[in-house]
Chain A
Amino acid sequence: MLRFGLKQAGRLALGLLGAIVLAALVAAAGSHAPGLSAYANIVVARLVAFGHLDFGTSAITANPAWDDLARRLPVTLELLGFGAVVAVVIGTPVGLLLSAGRVLRAGAPLLQIVAAAPVFCAGLGLLWLSERVLHWTGAPHDTSFVSALLSGDTDAMAAELRSVALPALTVGAAGAASIQLALRRAVSQAANEPYRRGLHAMGLSRFEVDSAYLFPQVVAGLFRSFGEVASSLLSATAVAEWVFGWNGAADLFLKSIALQDWSVVGLVLLVFAALTLSAEFVGAMAARLLAETERLA
């Protein structure tokens, strides 16, 4: 386990190093260096500055890039958190249901019809349904749910939940698609293991075999797909923030690209890549831990 953990930590460190280099390459794009060597010098200077936790200055606000991002990041993280909850609540039963039995599996391609709609279409559809069918106009996003929770103000909490519902559903739908895919993949791989037939032949019922042996493998498979799920949630967050007018980090990324504020763009990329890589690391470690626990049990 220790060896595996060290290997995964090494992979995470290498990935983060790559993300830092990518951020420096992007941040240096705004320098308009007059040649490759000048550009390389600026990239090196940016890397050194990153080492001192100096991520540059925003070309638009003249604030440190980190300050601009730090103001927006909680909004994105909140949306990601709610989206992840929705994704698990929807994706897990759908994934298990579509993996259960030949008849239901045959229906899995029908899900492609729903999944074929890009995230922004789903967001616009939800917006239309809420306004025109449910006559629910949503609510402005004034504070964060966590702040409302900490203050103990139930009205504020209800207002925040109402405000986050549609964007979280949009992000969650994209995450649910990833989760159900990961689950189906894990079930498909685990179900073909020869031990299942062997144990069944030894007299164990299918339920006993599946709950004791297959289920942990499926959960481990889902853990291993954490990076993939995180990436789809982040991508959907960018679209949801745009559609629903949330001033989060992804929205900052889009506006910074439009205004060529490369220091901020590089920093947002670094943070997003770090989130995905960390999710991959946590997922790999959790999957291994689960496998070790099962082995010891």
Chain B
Amino acid sequence: MSAAGEIASAPAPSLRTIIRGAGFIGLGAVGVFVGLADVLARAPANAENVGAPLLAPSAAFPFGTDILGRDMASETLHALAVTATAASFGALVTVLIGGLFGFLAARMPVGPGQFSRWVAGVLSAVPALLLAILLIGLTDRSFAPLAAGLAAAPLAFARAFDRARELSTSRHAEFARATGISRNALLRRDLAYEFRDTFLVSATRALAAVAIILSTVSFLGFGATPPHRDLGLMIGAARDTYFDHWWTATFPAAALASLILCARLAAGLEEGERP
């Protein structure tokens, strides 16, 4: 533990900025790929018999082909577009339902505020993955992005609630109240500053969490359904073939890991902070 003495000094801000920048560049690249997926992909989504089945990666098919002769590069690109779009929607739900509502709930009267915090605490005790699957089971698979966003919301809610409580008992809040600033004006002010300072961090963190939940849900067979294949479903579908044909699972997995990695780097998490 002696080497831990070095920790006292704060991490170099430049390194964190570089890491966050790399994350945003990566997310931007994903955004470009997603936006131009139909142009960049050589074959439309789910186009079968583009090549012979299970061709290894080659100059003609850089990512090979799958068991139905689909071009894996095109399929990975289309699936990345589905996953990134659905995860972005889910992340928005997490930020709005979890982050924003959590912030507002902390300023509610004690009864409803504490009750909503208790509900969030109970829901946080259930793993988010199982919560998402439960919500899909209670509704429909087409609600998977919404379910993933809602499943990730309790943790975001608890975090925002605690942060808002911290702000409302801070010295600036006491001073503001003493000078006659109304509770609503203080709430609007705190919300505006919090939104400005933490929205990108919260959104990218939620994007990573929702992408993991969504892809896992699809892998387990509760999410996306063909023909709208996402990366989780592609990897799940490759379970029977990837032992002998590694490329059928490796490229979708690499695309998924890249999306999650970029989102986490962009969030620029503090030391030891939970992703």
Contact = CB atoms under 8 A, between A and B. Distances in A.
Report if A and B associate in a common complex. Answer: yes
Interface of A: 14-15, 18-19, 21-22, 26, 29, 96, 99-102, 104-106, 108-109, 112-113, 115-121, 124-125, 128, 131-132, 181-188, 191-192, 196-197, 200, 205-207, 209-211, 214-215, 218, 227-228, 231-232, 234-235, 238-239, 242, 250, 253-254, 257-258, 260, 265, 269, 272-273, 276-277, 280
B265 A109 contact: yes
A210 B272 contact: no
B256 interface: yes
Contacts of A19: 122, 125-126
A215 B253 CA distance: 38
Contact of A100 (B4, B15, B260): B4
B197 interface: no
A218 B264 CA distance: 25
Contacts of A118: 212, 215-216, 219, 256-257, 260
B5 to A, nearest CB: 4
A148 B261 CA distance: 42
A116 B204 CA distance: 13
Interface string B242-256: 110010010001001
B110 interface: no
Interface range on chain B: under 10, 10 to 19, 20 to 34, or 35 or more? 35 or more
Interface of B: 1-9, 11-12, 15, 19, 118-119, 121-130, 133-134, 136-138, 208, 212, 215-216, 219-222, 232, 235, 239, 242-243, 246, 249, 253, 256-258, 260-261, 264-265, 270-275
Contact of B127 (A101, A187, A197, A231): A231
Q: Which 9 A-B pairs have CB atoms at the shortest separation, nearest pair first? A: A185-B272, A18-B122, A184-B272, A191-B7, A100-B3, A235-B127, A116-B261, A257-B137, A207-B2
A184 B222 CA distance: 35
A166 to B, nearest CB: 14
Nearest to B239: A124
Contact of A188 (B7, B12, B137, B274): B7
Contact of A191 (B4, B126, B130, B275): B4
Nearest to A275: B125
B220 A228 contact: no
Contacts of A206: 2, 5
A72 B258 CA distance: 36
Contacts of A181: 272-275
Contact of A187 (B7, B215, B216, B265): B7
30 contacts: A14-B118, A15-B121, A15-B122, A19-B122, A22-B126, A96-B4, A100-B1, A100-B4, A112-B261, A112-B265, A116-B264, A117-B257, A118-B212, A121-B253, A121-B256, A128-B242, A183-B272, A186-B272, A214-B4, A235-B128, A235-B130, A239-B219, A253-B130, A253-B133, A254-B222, A265-B137, A269-B130, A272-B126, A272-B127, A272-B130
Contact of B272 (A112, A188, A276): A188
A29 B220 contact: no
Contact of B274 (A205, A228, A238): A228
A218 B222 CA distance: 39
B125 A260 contact: no
A232 B126 CA distance: 10
Contact of A182 (B118, B219, B272): B272
Which among A125, A132, A186, A188 has the greatest number of chain B C-beta atoms within 10 A? A188
Contacts of A200: 5
B257 A116 contact: yes
